[in-house]
Amino acid sequence: MRVRVLLFGPEAVAAGAAFIDAEAEEGATVNQIKAAVARACPALAPVLGTIRLAVNAAFVPEDRVIGPADELALIGLVSGG
């Protein structure tokens, strides 16, 4: 299945785009989607170990299965107060 992953901040700058389209197998997990993103955009590979994937505007565990209609967004580390 083709998934679109939204990008923000430094991740969007690194990719040179506001989103990445990646190919993953049906029933892929969050972890497998991150691997697909790394294949689709090698510039993001170094940060994928510390980044979270939001699914439908909520953080989910790495083993969560992704569906074709899910909205995906990479959320990098943030700080502030």
* Domain map (residue ranges) of the chain: 2-75
Tally Cβ neighbours within 10 Å of residue 22.
22
pLDDT in tens, 32-62: 999 999 999 999 999 999 999 999 999 999 9
35 torsion bin: left (phi>0), alpha (psi -120 to 50), beta (else) = alpha
Q: Render pLDDT for 7-36 as a digit per residue (tens, 0 to 9).
A: 999 999 999 999 999 999 999 999 999 999
- What is the third-level CATH fold of 2-75? Ubiquitin-like (UB roll) (3.10.20)
Query: What percentage of the chain exceeds 70 in pLDDT?
Result: 96
Cα 1 from Cα 10, distance rounded (Å) = 26
pTM here? 0.90
**So what's the pLDDT on residue 77?**
77
| Angle, vertex CA 44, rays to CA 74 and CA 49, nearest 5 | 70
Confidence band for 80, pLDDT divided at 50, 70 and 90: low
The four Cα atoms 54, 60, 66, 71 give a dihedral, to 10 degrees, of -20
